[in-house]
Chains A and B, each alone.
Chain A
Amino acid sequence: MSSTELEHLIKMINQIADNIAIGESDDVATAKLADHLKRFWARSMKEQIFNYANSDGEKLQPVAKKALTLLQSE
């Protein structure tokens, strides 16, 4: 996997978190972020970010991590 592609995905998910999580409770922010990924991210993009979250995930914001966990559990 190219680092650029993954870097972009990490940047994207954190940016989404920045924009929809502020001022929301943790649960609401997590749900909103998970829903956004579900509605707009392609299968391959979700797979890559899941793999990253499961293997390393260091650069992910806490709410992004939670959202990915939530999404994977669905």
Chain B
Amino acid sequence: MIQFFDPRQSGNPHQLLDVEKDYGTPPTCAEDAASTSLVSLTIDGQPVMVPAGTSIMRAAAALDINIPKLCATDSLQAFGSCRICLVEIEGRKGFPASCTALAEEGLVVRTQTEKVARLRRNVMELTISDHPLDCLTCPANGDCELQNAAGEVGLRDVRYGFDGENHLNAKKDCSHAYFTFDPGRCIVCSRCVRACAEVQGTYALTIDGRGFDSRVAAGQDEDFMDSECVACGACVQACPTATLMENSVIDLGLPEHSVLTTCAYCGVGCAFKAELKGDRIVRMVPFKGGQANRGHSCVKGRFAFGYTTHRDRVIRPMIRDTIDEPWRQVSWDEAVSFAASRIRAIQQQYGRESVGGITSSRCTNEETYLVQKLVRAAFGNNNVDTCARVCHSPTGYGLKTTLGESAGTQTFDSVEKADVIMVIGANPTDAHPVFASRLKRRLTQGASLIVADPRRIDLVNSPHVSSDYHLNLLPGTNVALINALSHVIVTEGLEAKEFIASRCEQEAFEHWRSFISKEHNSPDIMAPVTGISAEKIRDAARLFAQAKNGAIYYGLGVTEHSQGSSMVMGIANLAMLTGNIGREGVGVNPLRGQNNVQGSCDMGSFPHELPGYRHVSDESVRGLFEQAWGVKIDHEPGMRIPNMFDAAITGSFKGLYCQGEDIAQSDPNTHHVEEALRSLECLIVQDIFLNETAKYAHVFLPGASFLEKDGTFTNAERRISPVRKIMPPLSGKADWEGTMALSNALGYAMDYSHPAEIMDEIAELTPTFSGVSYQLLQETGSLQWPCNEASPHGTPIMHVDEFVRGKGFFAITEYVATDEKVNKKYPLLLTTGRILSQYNAGTQTRRTENISWHAEDVLEIHPFDAEERGVKDGDRVQVSSRAGATVLRADITDRVQAGVIYTTFHHPETGVNVITTENSDWATNCPEYKVTAVQVSKVTGVSDWQSKRELFSEQQIAFMGTADS
């Protein structure tokens, strides 16, 4: 007998189903997999054993008996509306729908009988009587479930004719940038509506009307573009016909092959099937077997890939002597020789430490590894840093100190077991949308939610989801809040005593306990500091402490503060205090901003750490690398990005190699960054576009998009996923090849023929990666590090029996108010963030149709603050801080509290980092982006900086235009 296991129930993640197959209904979601009983039944004479709760349709599909279906698909709960999947069950009356009828012990099911066939044909006949018969010219031709089902049931005739009332001429909705809604082809199966609700959790779609009038409607019967639709693509994915169809498929026709790869946007790291015609992408389809995304996607990964072939792509190397002169287009050889000779001349004149490099959190692990290797081996110093400096460096410091490893503790799947979820300083629906959908699904199942954020993010209140507590604290008071929460738990005796006794350092805990119990950490004292009532803090603390499984998810609203590292440690303290570490449903989960922030940190991108988070002062570790690389490695840490900038302005730092990172736009205090960049004698930028930083460069090495190279990305769950080459690099070299060329020109030989060889070197030198290889990745799909002898298939959940550091360490996290305080001149606090349709500095997403949703950065301001300044919705306002000023449009909303304003940093024309200051986290120098004291005033023009930037930018683009000559 075939015993049919669902992987999520068998507890064996490696026993996967055929992920390409649609089983019709999802696996049953029993809370406790181990206790799920199996039932045996017979389908078309074949015995099968499935977990109780499985549908007959799914049980049959496991036997490869594929019952026709239209409204059923295994990403959605059974609905039973189309009636095509009817079956006969021996001894029972009628013809139950196999999608809703459950497998039971001893059932004898027949899926193909004369009666069933007749019924199915009738049902299909009715459906087709209101469907166009233009299959040959239909965009779904060859990929249409309706067409297939009609074939399967043997439909030969439609007796009703086509003259009656029908929907064939219903008006198409072509409003959307990426897909078309053609209601004339709709069979009202509700799959799109249910996908929007169940998979995405947005509830933007509904079936409007009754009976014959029933039709799919977006929002309040609006165009898709004007509705609440977030363009995740789940409805398009679910549609069995051409009713919801990607515009690219309508334009180009169906793809002819596909390649499995990993999204290059946020830290969720969704797996996608890039569906192609030759080397041209037709569409990106979320991969059902993707272990991070489980078949879901967002508007960025699903649709916003047009930037990869945008006309702005720079695909030839360029050089110039100064930034005041035009670029010269040259060969790769000439560009890297020019760069190398300049770097060597600088080192000759100013010393070995006068140059450095920045690795990219958007590039692959292998590429990041090579850049830090180049800095350490060819430059001969440790001046290497990465953009994680400006986002999650406090996570590295804080989690290493408390738990022993600089990484999140869970899988994304883990959220399905969480009972109380605390989201701190993160906006998952916008920044990590696919994870947000999974989180919302858990909330709709009954989990509780605590949101700590100055702003009312969507999770606080959206359809069918609302937070139990929104702790809308004042920017800059995170540590005050987390201390108060822990204070309540300790003073009320709600801590997980057994866990703490067995898993944590006792002396440190006692020391911490006496600190946290002090009156000054109490909710009453912290209430006026945080702006949250003591009662609310107490209630939230009690809710979290008493959860069976409490999980904390956090983002840059935690790290990008003067006490970012303290807050990360405070979060780890809270998780340990409540025993929420080391199993599913709990944990400390940093939501990483960029696709490979985790990976770039893992790969030794920090100036004090070699790959695998090992300090450069450790002689034995250094010895390993020295032997493998054949060079001496400096035992002193190098400079971090802000230190490099300072030293550049001083005149002691003169050369920088920056791969795939736009520091001029994304780093704080733009005036300061620009001054630093102007001070450099050799700035080498490797990027796919002439970004803001490249405008200050002397050497431009054309980068390759994620479609143009092989490699791996590591997401926020420590999951290493393969990135696969789909087209040759437009510039002739993938980024790792560019770095190799530069290194060879510098006289340090690098000779890899494929990134797999680089991964082999990483595995050889890094204990947490020792089991990782391309072959294993090919077999398993992805791997979560540590992956080594002890965990040959990776480590989904960390710190299970003991912490990586042995015993958990409670760190003292005294609240120290930031220096950035409001005053008469700057009475408001600015905090910054992201929006769904745009990604980071916008370099990629601004060059896609995503621009339709967010054409400019706007300033969210509370009605009180706006009124006080005579500002009306849409007015141009200047935001000024002690660092600088910029002008943007006002969006009056009570989403922000009075006294706090908010904007995004996706557009260089706005340049919000002109306003942010040099303040940073005490331990890691992660900038304090989230707190800047500002004033807002109504203006008509633009700021001085904006005018100057525009002129400079135009000049630099003109310099590129003459590169050919």
Is B638 in contact with A23, judged by CB distance below 8 angstroms? Answer: no
Contact A42/B636 with A5-B647, A15-B922 known, Cβ cut-off 8 Å: yes
Cβ of B877 within 8 Å of any chain A Cβ, yes or no, is no
**Residues of B with C-beta under 8 A to A8:** 642, 646, 918
**Residues of A with C-beta under 8 A to B563:** 19
**Residues of B with C-beta under 8 A to A19:** 563, 565-566, 814, 816, 922-923
Is B814 in contact with A42, judged by CB distance below 8 angstroms? Answer: no
Query: Cα distance A2–B643 when bound, in Å?
Result: 12
Of A5, A41, A42, A44, which contacts B649 at CB under 8 A? A5
Query: Cα distance A71–B554 when bound, in Å?
Result: 36
Is B816 in contact with A18, judged by CB distance below 8 angstroms? Answer: yes
Is A43 in contact with B615, judged by CB distance below 8 angstroms? Answer: no
Contact A42/B607 with A8-B918, A23-B812 known, Cβ cut-off 8 Å: yes
Residue of A nearest to B635 (CB): A43
Query: Cα distance A38–B615 when bound, in Å?
Result: 11
Residue of B nearest to A3 (CB): B650
Contact A42/B515 with A5-B646, A23-B812 known, Cβ cut-off 8 Å: no
**Which chain A residues (27-55) contact chain B, with CB distance < 8 Å?**
36, 38-45
Cβ of B893 within 8 Å of any chain A Cβ, yes or no, is no
Is A41 in contact with B637, judged by CB distance below 8 angstroms? Answer: yes
Of B566, B643, B651, B816, which contacts A42 at CB under 8 A? B643
Cβ of B562 within 8 Å of any chain A Cβ, yes or no, is yes
CB distance from A12 to the nearest CB of B (A): 7
Query: Cα distance A40–B636 when bound, in Å?
Result: 9
Residue of A nearest to B653 (CB): A44
Is B353 in contact with A44, judged by CB distance below 8 angstroms? Answer: yes
Residue of A nearest to B518 (CB): A23
Is B643 in contact with A16, judged by CB distance below 8 angstroms? Answer: no
Is A40 in contact with B637, judged by CB distance below 8 angstroms? Answer: yes
Contact A43/B636 with A15-B922, A16-B922, A19-B816 known, Cβ cut-off 8 Å: yes
Is B923 in contact with A42, judged by CB distance below 8 angstroms? Answer: no
Interface centre among B383, B649, B922 (most CB of A within 10 A): B922
Is B646 in contact with A2, judged by CB distance below 8 angstroms? Answer: yes
**Residues of A with C-beta under 8 A to B607:** 42
**Residues of B with C-beta under 8 A to A40:** 608, 637, 923-924
Query: Cα distance A39–B647 when bound, in Å?
Result: 19
Is A39 in contact with B816, judged by CB distance below 8 angstroms? Answer: no
Contact A44/B652 with A2-B646, A15-B922 known, Cβ cut-off 8 Å: yes
Is B515 in contact with A44, judged by CB distance below 8 angstroms? Answer: no
Query: Cα distance A40–B652 when bound, in Å?
Result: 19
Query: Cα distance A36–B401 when bound, in Å?
Result: 12
Is B647 in contact with A44, judged by CB distance below 8 angstroms? Answer: yes
Is B353 in contact with A2, judged by CB distance below 8 angstroms? Answer: no
Cβ of A4 within 8 Å of any chain B Cβ, yes or no, is yes
Contact A44/B639 with A2-B649, A19-B814 known, Cβ cut-off 8 Å: yes
**Residues of A with C-beta under 8 A to B640:** 42
Q: Is the interface of B mostly helix, strand, loop or mixed?
A: loop
**Residues of B with C-beta under 8 A to A22:** 812, 814, 816
Of A1, A12, A23, A38, which contacts B814 at CB under 8 A? A23
Contact A45/B643 with A4-B649, A18-B922 known, Cβ cut-off 8 Å: yes
Q: Is the interface of A mostly helix, strand, loop or mixed?
A: helix
Contact A39/B923 with A5-B650, A19-B816, A22-B814 known, Cβ cut-off 8 Å: no
**Which chain B residues (907-942) contact chain A, with CB distance < 8 Å?**
918, 920, 922-925
Query: Cα distance A38–B650 when bound, in Å?
Result: 22
Query: Cα distance A23–B812 when bound, in Å?
Result: 9
CB distance from A59 to the nearest CB of B (A): 14
Q: Scoring B residues 616 to 647 as 1 if CB is less than 8 Å from chain A, else 0, what string do you get?
A: 01000000000000000000111110110011
CB distance from A37 to the nearest CB of B (A): 10
Contact A2/B918 with A22-B814, A23-B515, A43-B353 known, Cβ cut-off 8 Å: no
Query: Cα distance A43–B381 when bound, in Å?
Result: 10
Of A12, A38, A39, A42, which contacts B639 at CB under 8 A? A42
Is A39 in contact with B617, judged by CB distance below 8 angstroms? Answer: yes
Query: Cα distance A23–B566 when bound, in Å?
Result: 15
Query: Cα distance A18–B919 when bound, in Å?
Result: 14
**Residues of A with C-beta under 8 A to B812:** 22-24
Of A2, A16, A38, which contacts B923 at CB under 8 A? A16
**Residues of B with C-beta under 8 A to A45:** 639, 643
Query: Cα distance A7–B300 when bound, in Å?
Result: 42
Contact A39/B646 with A16-B922, A16-B923, A19-B814 known, Cβ cut-off 8 Å: no
CB distance from B654 to the nearest CB of A (A): 13
Query: Cα distance A4–B642 when bound, in Å?
Result: 12
**Which chain B residues (646-663) contact chain A, with CB distance < 8 Å?**
646-647, 649-652
Of A2, A5, A39, which contacts B637 at CB under 8 A? A39
**Residues of B with C-beta under 8 A to A42:** 353, 382-383, 607, 636-640, 643
Query: Cα distance A5–B675 when bound, in Å?
Result: 13
Residue of A nearest to B818 (CB): A15
Is B646 in contact with A4, judged by CB distance below 8 angstroms? Answer: yes
Is B650 in contact with A2, judged by CB distance below 8 angstroms? Answer: yes
**Residues of A with C-beta under 8 A to B925:** 12
Residue of B nearest to A22 (CB): B814
Residue of B nearest to A19 (CB): B922
Interface centre among A15, A36, A38 (most CB of B within 10 A): A15
Query: Cα distance A32–B651 when bound, in Å?
Result: 31
**Residues of B with C-beta under 8 A to A39:** 608, 615, 617, 637
CB distance from B961 to the nearest CB of A (A): 36
Query: Cα distance A41–B615 when bound, in Å?
Result: 12
Of A1, A15, A23, A36, which contacts B562 at CB under 8 A? A15
Query: Cα distance A4–B675 when bound, in Å?
Result: 12
**Residues of A with C-beta under 8 A to B643:** 42, 45
Query: Cα distance A43–B643 when bound, in Å?
Result: 11
**Residues of B with C-beta under 8 A to A1:** 650
**Residues of B with C-beta under 8 A to A16:** 922-923
CB distance from B228 to the nearest CB of A (A): 43
**Residues of B with C-beta under 8 A to A12:** 920, 922, 925
Query: Cα distance A24–B608 when bound, in Å?
Result: 26
Residue of A nearest to B644 (CB): A42
**Residues of B with C-beta under 8 A to A2:** 646, 649-651
**Residues of B with C-beta under 8 A to A38:** 617
Residue of B nearest to A37 (CB): B637
Q: Scoring B residues 833 to 850 as 1 if CB is less than 8 Å from chain A, else 0, what string do you get?
A: 000000000000000000
Residue of B nearest to A41 (CB): B637
CB distance from A20 to the nearest CB of B (A): 8
CB distance from A51 to the nearest CB of B (A): 13
Residue of A nearest to B812 (CB): A23
Interface centre among A4, A12, A36, A44 (most CB of B within 10 A): A44
Residue of A nearest to B615 (CB): A39
**Residues of A with C-beta under 8 A to B647:** 5, 44
**Residues of A with C-beta under 8 A to B651:** 2
Query: Cα distance A2–B382 when bound, in Å?
Result: 22
Query: Cα distance A22–B650 when bound, in Å?
Result: 33
CB distance from B513 to the nearest CB of A (A): 13
Residue of B nearest to A24 (CB): B812
CB distance from B519 to the nearest CB of A (A): 14
Query: Cα distance A40–B638 when bound, in Å?
Result: 8
CB distance from A4 to the nearest CB of B (A): 6
What 8 A-B pairs have minimum CB-CB distances, sorted nearest first? A5-B646, A2-B650, A15-B922, A22-B814, A19-B922, A42-B639, A43-B636, A5-B650
Other than the known A2-B649, A15-B562, A18-B922, what 20 A-B pairs have Cβ atoms closer than 8 Å? A2-B651, A5-B647, A12-B920, A16-B923, A19-B566, A19-B814, A22-B814, A23-B812, A23-B814, A36-B923, A38-B617, A39-B615, A39-B617, A40-B608, A40-B924, A42-B639, A43-B636, A44-B353, A44-B647, A45-B643
Between A and B, 18 residue pairs with Cβ closer than 8 Å are: A2-B646, A2-B650, A2-B651, A15-B562, A19-B563, A19-B565, A19-B814, A19-B922, A22-B816, A23-B515, A23-B812, A24-B812, A36-B923, A38-B617, A40-B924, A42-B607, A42-B638, A42-B640
State the A residues within 8 Å of B (CB).
1-2, 4-5, 8, 12, 15-16, 18-19, 22-24, 36, 38-45
